[in-house]
Structure 1
Amino acid sequence: MGIEGLALLRHAVDGDEAFLRERVADIRRFALDEEKLPDGGALVSELDPAAGYASWSAVYDSLPSSYIEVEEPVVHAILDGLEPGVALDAACGTGRQTRALAARGHRVIGVDQSPQMIAKAREHTPGAEFRAGHLDRLPLDDDSVDLAVCSLAMTHLPDLVPGVAELARVVRPGGRIVITDLHPFVIALQGQCLFVHGAEELAFVRNHVHLPSRYLEAFGRAGLRVRGCHEPLFNGSLAPGGYEEFIADAARAAWDGLPIVVVWDVEVPSGGEAP
């Protein structure tokens, strides 16, 4: 009902009258329990990142994602402008960015806390090096890489300052850091992202809202300089079989024109340069 209500709220003034009546009718049906959504009534559990991604790893690469679809072109355009070097894929998961970095000639080190995710990443890119570790406690020396990429993972940190500081610590002066995150609009409006866990259960790994102002504070504390900030918009793609596809008109209207991902392009100033 939340998605239906969001679609109604956003289009109440300028929306088509028939569309608005459909939203009200849908809300009434769901409120009166006249119609069930997919997975309606399923048990929902919160998992910590280690347990959550262990469960998610088996199907993660097979799940279409509008977040990834709008994020990757922006990230790849940034990577295409960089010379090959030693690159870190922080919180690498199944190695999506590891593959992109290796394809561009980088020697890649992937770090993730999930052994299951690392196993998948190693299958995809056997030539990369992988290490077990946490985003806020990276197992790398100071100034040891030329580039760090962290995709859609900062959202799981209650405080992003330690994660940003760690990326700044391991990247050499003059190097670059690319961070992508779920846009705070999405988390504030939608809540948590659910996935199938076990036979008849749903689960989520908690996403935290990180406002742009908080990122700028973290970058400032770490002595980083912002080169660019990109906010790719929702592309109309809905997860197949999920509740949003069941109410596709409302879901697309709810998210239409809103950014769903934020991409930060920052650099570590060279010696003597001010951030």
Structure 2
Amino acid sequence: MDQEFRVRELMLGVEGMALLRHALDADEDFLKARVEEIRALVTGEGTALPDGGTPLDELDVADGYASWATRYDSLPSAYIEVEEPVVHRLLDRGPVGTALDAACGTGRQTAALAARGYRTIGVDQSPQMLAQARRKVPGAEFRRGRLESLPVDDESVDLVVCSLAMTHLPDVSPGIAELARVLRPGGRIILSDLHPFVISLQGQCVFVHGADQLAFVRNHVHLPGRYLDAFHSAGLTVRECHEPLFNDRLAPGGYEEAIADAARAAWKDLPLVVVWAAEKPGESQESAV
């Protein structure tokens, strides 16, 4: 089905969310400005819309990340910006051992693990992403495989990291069960994902695809209760849950810059990602030595 990137509708949604969240406590000038911007968008009296009408494709994970691979590290990401400090603090707690970066992408977390002294395995289903990761972290071992069927032996790693990937699975349970399977007793899992609030409100992460198109890989909403059920079913104990908030910075060049006041008000104090820290009960092999 042919789709277009509907910038006007997205901007109207952001304006409406800003009004919905602040109608009772904002000053009158702010509210009037939102109404005027909505009127301009509806009547077409405003400035030309960025990327309006650009063709938009929905790609599966393999095709999407094949297209995204060479651009992925160069694009600004509000999600990564708030996620990394939390994940890295958890990584710093150690102890250092063998680590798996599941759905490693271009090796962003693989590099962080290697820098901390972990013996690291990166797994991803995209050969294009793995090519970027191998260049970034030549000392790590990389394997091609899916998150739901990891090419890693049972109870063979001390730490599993999975960053911003579970959202592409319709159900988190198979993925979390696989993370638990490869983890040694006493080992840790650090799992980050897009927050369900963001996916529910904004939907998908759009990127440039080809010369004149945009694309997205579908994100699925996974509520906290589904994660907790999946952790429990996999025999894991949740130790921490972090929800870093929107940091007031908008993506440069994006449509929200044209309605910056509304966008900042709409996203203010909302969590962008969720970071889970869980453990597999029992004594790790390394600590038993």
TM range, smaller chain? over 0.9
1:37 corresponds in structure 2 to 49
| In 2, Cα distance between equivalents of 1:175 and 1:183 | 25
| In 1, Cα distance between equivalents of 2:180 and 2:49 | 44
- Tell me the TM-score normalised to structure 1 length: 0.97
Q: Select 1:154's aligned residue among 166, 170, 186.
A: 166
Residue 98 of structure 1 aligns to which amino acid in structure 2? Answer: T
1:33 Cα shift?
A: 2.4
| In 1, Cα distance between equivalents of 2:203 and 2:76 | 19
| In 1, Cα distance between equivalents of 2:205 and 2:190 | 23
Q: Select 1:111's aligned residue among 115, 120, 123.
A: 123
1:199 corresponds in structure 2 to 211
2:96 corresponds in structure 1 to 84
1:131 corresponds in structure 2 to 143
Of residues 239-248 and 89-98 in structure 1, the stretch that sits farther from structure 2 once superposed is 239-248
1:17 corresponds in structure 2 to 28
| In 1, Cα distance between equivalents of 2:136 and 2:175 | 26
- Tell me the TM-score normalised to structure 2 length: 0.92
| In 2, Cα distance between equivalents of 1:72 and 1:58 | 21
| In 2, Cα distance between equivalents of 1:63 and 1:94 | 13
Q: Select 1:237's aligned residue among 246, 249, 254.
A: 249
| In 2, Cα distance between equivalents of 1:115 and 1:23 | 45
Q: Counterpart of 1:203 in 2: which secondary structure? A: strand
Q: Select 1:52's aligned residue among 48, 64, 68.
A: 64
2:229 corresponds in structure 1 to 217
- Residue deviations 1:179-218, cap 9 Å, x none? 0010000000111111111122111000000000000000
2:270 corresponds in structure 1 to 258
Q: Counterpart of 2:177 in 1: which secondary structure? A: helix
In the alignment, structure 2 segments of 5+ residues that lack a partner are 1-11, 284-289
Q: Counterpart of 1:178 in 2: which secondary structure? A: strand
| In 1, Cα distance between equivalents of 2:98 and 2:62 | 27
Residue 85 of structure 2 aligns to which amino acid in structure 1? Answer: P
Q: Counterpart of 2:70 in 1: which secondary structure? A: coil
| In 2, Cα distance between equivalents of 1:196 and 1:248 | 22
- Residue deviations 1:123-149, cap 9 Å, x none? 110000000000001001100111000
Instruction: Provide the aligned length of Structure 1 versus Structure 2.
Output: 271
Q: Counterpart of 1:202 in 2: which secondary structure? A: strand
| In 2, Cα distance between equivalents of 1:10 and 1:126 | 47
Percentage of matched positions with identical amino acids: 72
- Residue deviations 1:67-91, cap 9 Å, x none? 1111111111111001111100000
1:176 corresponds in structure 2 to 188
1:248 Cα shift?
A: 1.2
Residue 217 of structure 2 aligns to which amino acid in structure 1? Answer: V
1:120 Cα shift?
A: 0.5
Residue 181 of structure 2 aligns to which amino acid in structure 1? Answer: R
Verify: 1:6 aligned to 2:27, yes or no.
no
| In 2, Cα distance between equivalents of 1:32 and 1:43 | 23
Q: Counterpart of 1:247 in 2: which secondary structure? A: helix
Residue 56 of structure 2 aligns to which amino acid in structure 1? Answer: V
Residue 133 of structure 1 aligns to which amino acid in structure 2? Answer: G
2:4 corresponds in structure 1 to none
| In 2, Cα distance between equivalents of 1:227 and 1:131 | 29
2:38 corresponds in structure 1 to 27
1:25 Cα shift?
A: 1.2
Of residues 1-10 and 25-34 in structure 1, the stretch that sits farther from structure 2 once superposed is 25-34
Q: Counterpart of 2:105 in 1: which secondary structure? A: coil
| In 2, Cα distance between equivalents of 1:33 and 1:46 | 28
1:34 Cα shift?
A: 2.7
2:133 corresponds in structure 1 to 121
1:37 Cα shift?
A: 2.2
